[in-house]
Structure 1
């Protein structure tokens, strides 16, 4: 299993649970090598199999490098969790090309580049054995996001549509494609919007009355990757406490 943006937050929770479930895991990270190394030590200490690979998957050749390293060190990729992404806090009136390009490269280009590498390895049409792709979207795609987050919400809308299109494209080639839409989840990605305090405050407005945890999202991701979800394809699953 390849988990992009796997060094912390939701990605780390998915990598940790995947290793416990018996997957050999590639933890991808961009800058926070210390967090990735800590997670790697934790997985190995528990008897799991994992590697950590630095790559900016929003850059085509680095995404290719990530998969080549995984091929060499872990073997065939059977599951891709497209988790890498960033938040943004910028009003449309203040938006410029650089802000849009940076966010869409991290959130959308990365999905395409990594899915391309996964499909090339998984597709039965191309000689592969099949596999699973799980894309991480957000309820921002249907709610519009937080103030200053229009570009983030738009990028997640693109992920929803990409998931549906890719599912139609490769479903007959042995590849299941689905997406998760987390809601308010306790991770440090929310620091630019007020951090844990803001997440707790907004979480109390959900029907369940609380924010979620990264582990709760990870459990849904592992279910989508498993044989228990063998006929789930082209689905977008909200993990948002009813929000």
Structure 2
């Protein structure tokens, strides 16, 4: 069973990125329904000449229940289930925020911290409420990302992880990024991901670090 091939312009081209053209490259699908996360991953991979699409291009993509107890388990689930459904190479991630004072919460429940139908605003409000009496020196936290690469048969071929340490602030700062970005102070810059530009985030974020770790496997397998 061969990998599905790129058909038409990939998302990197649509985003206006200058990518070296290739002939019928195997297609790598980003296994997320989160549009903003998908764009971040595409931007990280595009300079390396990988033909990339998100699940938005595939009506047959499945909804994967994130039943894993860890980010790594959820990343594997999303990669393998989507790969089998689409018969493509799939790179999936699971990521979230771990707050020291909350014993690692919200963790794997980061996207649904305030409930199944919540949004970023509700999650941030709940986090601020839970940390209301926590002093600045005890608001340490880290963003964590696990990524998994599955072949078209649904077999995991590579895994990696990355993290970014910082601190949760007492109020939102900045409008860039998504999720908890406006609350997360990046130690190296003394600014939140909500205040920093995308170039900085592509260097320092947990997702960028996980992608750099798995990139050699992606380039050796999906080309």
Q: What's the TM-score, normalizing by structure 2? A: 0.38
Q: Which has the higher helix share?
A: 1
